[in-house]
Structure 1
Amino acid sequence: MDFSLNAEQQLLKDSVDKYMSERYDSEQRRSYLAAPKGFSAAVWQDFGNLGWLTVPLPESEGGFGGSVVDTAVLMEAMGRSVAVEPYLATVLLAGQLIANGDNATLKERYLPDILSGNCQAAFAYQERRSRHQLDAIDCQLERNGDGYSLNGHKTLVLNGAIADVLIVTAWLDESIALFAVPANSAGVHCDAFRLMDGQGVANVRFDAVQLPRENLVCAGAGSMALIRRVLDEATIAVSAQAVGAMEYLLKATVDYSNTRKQFGQPIGKFQALQHRMVDMYTATEQCRSLLVRALCSNSIEQGDVQTQAQAEMDIAALKAMVGKLGRAVAEEAVQIHGGMGVTEELNIGDYLKRLMVIDSLFGDQDWQRRRFATLRYQ
């Protein structure tokens, strides 16, 4: 079986790599993080102009109609530079939910601006007791004349502090519904802060937020299926980002070991360090192999329950191993670089922080192992 990229995917990879090499050294990245929004508005606009924001969205909604493989190619390239732009939150989560929902009015209202880079969005689905269980929700939508009233709290909303629109999960008539909530609505309160890697998040409170009926993205049985599909694809995407980060750390560590001298020779000649770098290479390739497996199983039509379960198992295995081995590779890179590995003189620590955050997204390695076991023996 041929696992190589096709011509379009290779062109996408080359274009992202070239752009990131020019616009994303460690000093530039830190300047982007120091901006008021936590990323560069100019770089985000470039993403829109280059068409990268359209890659995963359906052609019927103005997107490129790319597959999970196309998205993984893009995210892996961003992972090699530890990009700080909210691609995951705006495009892969909120944008996908709107694009694949049932509301044509919302698509017309938000998707053109998302695709052009003029709208920031976020998916608010986690709550304090959720622990990655999608139906552990206390937010409630109550009917109020021709509209609805939303009450509740959401935690760790990626991009929530600067989003123009929040896609929120809440109970409506004994089923989970998705609603588009403009961030400037009366009764929306955000408590913004940053994760260890600098990404902006927010805890959001909704106090009797009044919403019209036309803000309903999706309701009924289809809502949970849509949420699971979008989160599964996002899990593959962040895993691809982790593989890109691991690849960078391996290369940077090998290069450093060939230039840093001790006892009159490069430290890369010391057998003990060679063994550790071989372990880094093995871990990176193991995660890449699991990524390819997950991409293959999630690129085919899910014709039966067994096929769907296998695809979900592949995602769980990928995410669990990325969480375990990604951190191990980053810690080895820090160790081989010595004390400099965690200083601002080098960017190795930035990759360690990002890989630790990726482990926690959408279920950490322990949670994903339990998910795998449940799917395997159900």
Structure 2
Amino acid sequence: MDLNYSDEQLLLKESAERFLKDRYDFETRNRILASNDGFDTAIWTDMADLGWLALPFAEENGGLGGGAVEISLIMEAIGRALVVEPYLASVILAGSLVERLGTEKQKAEILGGLTAGTSRPALAHMERRSGFDLDNVSATVVKTADGYSLSGEKPLVLGGPFADVFLVSAKLGGEIRLFAVPADAAGLARETVKLVDGSRASDLMLNSVSVPASALLNGGDTLCEIEAAYDRANASLAFEAVGIMDALLDATVSYTKERVQFGKPLAAFQALQHRMAEMAVKCQEARASALLATLSVDASRSMRIRGVSGARAKIGKVSRSVAQEAIQLHGAMGFSGEMPIGAWFRRLYAIENTFGTTADHLKRYGEIIRDPAVLSGSLLRESA
């Protein structure tokens, strides 16, 4: 298997890195976070103009037909730049579900607006007691004469403060279904909460929210598609973490070359060289794991879980080690607001606890590995 990027993929990678370097430095990011909106509409519009928002969708749905590898290149650049715009929440998670489950009208309206940069959907599925059990949904829906009525709570909805439409999951007849709910629907309340990395999410409260029958996304097995969407998002988070880890390593090496102690640069001390070499090894381990996750998202369910959750478990461990080393080698400056080291550290911590913790993914990976079908190798034949 050729694991080298194609010429087109290299151009995409270079374009993404150049755009974010020119338009999204650390000071710009802090300004956006400190603003009332916590979001830059101009940056989002630029992402649409560059084709990023249309990248993963099929051409018949107004997209560019990109795959998981192309998305990983964008997410790696997003990680390095600490982008707070809801690319993961709106494009990779909610957008993919609309494409796979939505009606033609829903695709035209929601995906059409998303790829144009005028719409930002968000998935509201996880609940307070669900953990990473995707089937644990307490929100309810009742069939009415005109459509449906939804009630329940959805905490920490990523992209929620910026969303104009929510994909809300609820149980109908004992089965999970998704409904497209406008953000301004009567009975829907959202409260903005700030996360550990400074970004924002929303707590949603739905009190008998009425939606028409056309709000139902009913194009397939909803729970299976939700699980697959979260796996695509987790593979993307893995590459976001890789971008952050590489940035931490680069910043640490540069700092130790400049910082002089006892008459010579810190980088001249062999003990510190060994520590940075260990950081570099862990960055490569993370990249290999993230690539496996990316190449697994379109495989069979068993192979997908093995690749994605295995990567998240691995990266959760090594990313924390790299971040802690970077903080220590920078000394007290690592946590100063003038340097991005602390922000990268906090973002890695947020990633480690998004869409399943390291422990959740380790458990999920272990359950698949213990499956006799996996041990016998039949899953390899299944995905061939």
State which of 280, 284, 305 in structure 2 corresponds to 1:312. 305
Q: Distance in 2 between matches of 1:372 and 1:365?
A: 10
Aligned length, in residue pairs:
371
Q: Distance in 2 between matches of 1:318 and 1:249?
A: 19
1:306-326 deviations in Å (ceiling 9; x for gaps): xx3122111111001111111
Letter in 1 for 2:331: G
User: Partner of 1:305 in structure 2?
Assistant: none
**Alpha-carbon distance, 1:40 to partner:** 1.4
User: Partner of 1:227 in structure 2?
Assistant: 226
1:289-321 deviations in Å (ceiling 9; x for gaps): 111222233355x3xxxxx31221111110011
Unaligned residue ranges in structure 1 (runs of 5+): 303-307
Pair 1:277-2:279 in alignment = no
Q: Distance in 2 between matches of 1:103 and 1:173?
A: 21
1:23-53 deviations in Å (ceiling 9; x for gaps): 1221111011122221211111100111111
Letter in 2 for 1:89: A
User: Partner of 1:122 in structure 2?
Assistant: 122
The 8 Å contact of residues 13 and 73 in structure 2, kept in 1 or not, is answered as: yes
Letter in 2 for 1:315: V
User: Partner of 2:341 in structure 1?
Assistant: 348
Task: Provide the identity percentage.
Answer: 38
User: Partner of 2:14 in structure 1?
Assistant: 14
**Alpha-carbon distance, 1:339 to partner:** 0.3
* 1:100 alignment partner, SS class: helix
Q: Distance in 2 between matches of 1:110 and 1:366?
A: 35
**Alpha-carbon distance, 1:201 to partner:** 0.5
Mapping for residues 318-357 of structure 1, pairs under 5 Å:
318-357=311-350
The 8 Å contact of residues 93 and 232 in structure 2, kept in 1 or not, is answered as: no
User: Partner of 1:132 in structure 2?
Assistant: 132
Q: Distance in 2 between matches of 1:170 and 1:299?
A: 26
**Alpha-carbon distance, 1:6 to partner:** 0.7
Mapping for residues 170-319 of structure 1, pairs under 5 Å:
170-218=170-218, 222-300=221-299, 302=300, 308-319=301-312
Q: Distance in 2 between matches of 1:201 and 1:57?
A: 25
Letter in 2 for 1:285: Q
* 2:364 alignment partner, SS class: helix
* 1:46 alignment partner, SS class: helix
The 8 Å contact of residues 246 and 329 in structure 1, kept in 2 or not, is answered as: yes
TM-score by length of 1: 0.96
Pair 1:369-2:368 in alignment = no
* 1:64 alignment partner, SS class: coil
TM-score by length of 2: 0.94
User: Partner of 1:78 in structure 2?
Assistant: 78
Mapping for residues 151-162 of structure 1, pairs under 5 Å:
151-162=151-162
Q: Distance in 2 between matches of 1:29 and 1:172?
A: 41
The 8 Å contact of residues 259 and 266 in structure 1, kept in 2 or not, is answered as: yes
1:74-96 deviations in Å (ceiling 9; x for gaps): 10111111111110111111111
Letter in 2 for 1:242: A
1:216-236 deviations in Å (ceiling 9; x for gaps): 1127x6101111111111100
* 2:53 alignment partner, SS class: helix
Q: Distance in 2 between matches of 1:3 and 1:31?
A: 38
Q: Distance in 1 between matches of 2:81 and 2:128?
A: 32
**Alpha-carbon distance, 1:330 to partner:** 1.0
* 1:189 alignment partner, SS class: strand
Q: Distance in 2 between matches of 1:370 and 1:43?
A: 38
The 8 Å contact of residues 298 and 304 in structure 2, kept in 1 or not, is answered as: no
User: Partner of 1:97 in structure 2?
Assistant: 97
Q: Distance in 1 between matches of 2:144 and 2:83?
A: 42
Q: Distance in 2 between matches of 1:34 and 1:113?
A: 27
**Alpha-carbon distance, 1:102 to partner:** 3.7
Q: Distance in 2 between matches of 1:222 and 1:13?
A: 34
Pair 1:168-2:161 in alignment = no
* 1:340 alignment partner, SS class: helix
Q: Distance in 1 between matches of 2:307 and 2:274?
A: 29
Letter in 1 for 2:153: H
The 8 Å contact of residues 190 and 202 in structure 1, kept in 2 or not, is answered as: yes
Q: Distance in 1 between matches of 2:196 and 2:157?
A: 15
Q: Distance in 1 between matches of 2:275 and 2:5?
A: 30
The 8 Å contact of residues 67 and 299 in structure 1, kept in 2 or not, is answered as: no
**Alpha-carbon distance, 1:103 to partner:** 1.3
C-alpha root-mean-square deviation of aligned residues, in Å?
A: 1.2
The 8 Å contact of residues 38 and 198 in structure 1, kept in 2 or not, is answered as: no
Unaligned residue ranges in structure 2 (runs of 5+): 372-384
Q: Distance in 2 between matches of 1:51 and 1:296?
A: 22
